[in-house]
Amino acid sequence: MTQHEIKDNMEVIGADGVHVGTVDHVEGNRIKLKKNDSDGFHKGHHHFIELGFVAGVEGSKVRLSANAAIAVTLEEEKSGKPVD
């Protein structure tokens, strides 16, 4: 898998096929998720997922190596700090 396979607006799913987010774009070694995928206190700003958690690209979807419930705990803020 190369980051060049990941395109804007692709759906990001967990290993279990559950929606995690939508690619805004790749920024460095992380996927920047669209703002509208953030919930609650974190609503209205971007979260990021390290490319190292990507298992592969399947058609128009980016599949992560962790199930969605775990994957959302791996999301980071722009600073690189974990999402609270």
From residue 13, alpha-carbon distances to 61, 79 in Å are 7, 23
Return averaged pLDDT per consecutive 10 residues of the chain, 84 residues in all. Answer: 87 95 94 75 74 95 95 82 72
pLDDT score at 37: 66
pLDDT score at 73: 85
Quick one: 8-80 is in which CATH superfamily? Answer: PRC-barrel domain (2.30.30.240)
pLDDT score at 33: 93
pLDDT score at 43: 59
